[in-house]
Structure 1
Amino acid sequence: MSEPSSPAIAETSQPKAETARRPRNSAKTKASILAAARVEFADRGFEGARVDAIAERAEANKRLLYHYFGNKEELYRAVLLDAYQEIRRGERALSLDQYDPVQAMDRLVRFTFRHFLANPWFPRLLGTENIENARFLKTLPDIKALHSPLVGQIAAILERGAAAGIFRRDVDPVQLYISVAALGFFYVSNTATLSVIFERDLSSVGMVQEREAHAVQMVVDFLKTKPGA
């Protein structure tokens, strides 16, 4: 059950003189709330997350949280959108069209793996949204537009690789990206349990580097394999 909305209020009830000495920084406050909310939602899920806890973690007034984001559901949607925008920005910054097909795929696999590794809250947040059957993601109007350029980038890499006689021609870019994401997502999401099962510290630097190299090799070798070979 979502928490009730609160009417918009002034950012501070302090005297005007003190307000003048402490100018409003709404962008910084919003960023702090989003950062705190992503951790709370990732750790406790949508239902278990508390607005009070988010406000306390962000060191922000709870009424300000409602002022900027409306209610708990809208804040969760904002966290989801921000999470996807962040990874898409990172992918665009790779400038994959400037590299040969093999190098481009190498960079994409490594970036995806490292993004999950550096942001363990992200796989947990995605897990939460899958438990919710993607009901909030379905309401984000910008989500398809965010993913379309990525699919187009991968398709272009595959086409360049096929034209150069390096890659096979029967690869679906969407299926390929799902595989790339899975290679990092599963490892990061299951590091604790897999470490116990196989009696290896999969969080160690050496094991992480080995896994990243393994993921790159799997993807590139697959793309170079001729169908039916």
Structure 2
Amino acid sequence: MDDKPANGRSGGWKQDPAGVRKNILSVAMAEFAANGLSGARIDEIAAKTNTSKRMIYYYFGDKERLYERVLEEAYREVRAGEQELELDHLPPVEALKLLAEFTFDHHSRHPDFIRIVMIENIHHGAYLERSELIRPLNAGAIQKLEAICRRGREAGLFRKDVTPLQLHWHISAMSFFNVSNRTTFSHIFGTDLFMGDGQEALKRQMVEMVVGLALKPERR
């Protein structure tokens, strides 16, 4: 078996291994999201990348390890986006609003992330459990909310009986459902909520609910 990429472009992996790995992960993300772990095929992934099947095995070992790396990359991307928000420089209410808005928008723009998480739930979190990166990577999401909540409580704004983990659950749940159930919801109730104005309204309402939950009743 030679090292010629499936698309006929040879030698690219030698000059840019990081770029090739990124390309493989991007293509694999789409394939796993569309077909699941069992349905995705390395031959199909290789045919759509800038490299060869041999090099996919060289970089990632086997299909299960490639799927695990895709899962890690999906979580890394959302956590990296949160990091770029620089929430520590904002008042606590504004920081919470911005984080909730970011999550809603990120999930809406990255439906493959939602599908990968759904697929991992089908596998009972087995590959997430195997990963040494995902749990510590996602701890950062709770740490950011802990910092926001601490500042909100110190300012006399936030309740003490609503935890950062609970807020994360509510933000994730509404942002996730917006994508995961879009097809069935649209078939039953129509597509108005998933058009531009509908999405903006849902995002605004989600943010209002999350902030309202965090605030003391007298601060609402």
Query: Could you state the TM-score of these two structures normalised by the residue count of structure 1?
Result: 0.87
User: Hey, what's the Cα distance between the residues in 2 that align with 1:205 and 1:146?
Assistant: 32
Identity across matched positions, percent: 38
The answer to whether the 8 Å contact 2:78/2:106 transfers is yes
107, 111, 118: which one aligns with 1:120: 111
Segments of structure 2 that go 5 or more residues without pairing to the other structure are: none
* 1-structure distance, mates of 2:191, 2:18: 43
Query: Separation in 2 of the partners of 1:57 and 1:179?
Result: 37
The reply on whether 1:155 has 2:141 as its aligned counterpart is no
Aligned-partner Cα distance in 2 for 1:218–1:105: 11
The equivalent residue for 2:175 is 184
Counterpart Cα distance in 2 of 1:61 and 1:200: 41
Deviation at 1:178, TM superposition (A): 1.2
Counterpart-to-counterpart distance in 2, 1:200 and 1:121: 20
Per-residue Cα deviation, 1:106-154 (whole angstroms, up to 9, x for no partner): 1100110111011000110000000000000001112222122221211
Q: Once the 2 structures are TM-superposed, how far is the Cα of residue 35 of structure 1 from its aligned partner?
A: 0.3
Code of the residue aligned with 1:156 in structure 2: it is: A
Letter in 2 for 1:188: V
Matched with 1:83 is: 74
Name the TM-score, length of structure 2 as normaliser.
0.91
Q: Is the 8 A contact 2:114 2:180 kept in 1?
A: yes
Matches within 5 A, 1:27-176: 27-176=18-167
22 and 154 in structure 1: CA distance in 2 versus 1, 3 angstrom threshold: closer
Q: CA deviation at 1:196?
A: 2.5
Q: In terms of Rg, which structure is larger? A: 1
Report if aligned partners of 2:92, 2:152 keep a CA contact under 8 Å in 1: yes
Matched-pair contact (CA < 8 Å) for 1:45–1:128: yes
Which letter does structure 1 place at the counterpart of 2:175?
G
Unaligned runs of 5+ in 1: 1-8
Choose between structure 1 and 2: higher helix proportion.
2
Residue type at the aligned position of 1:82: E
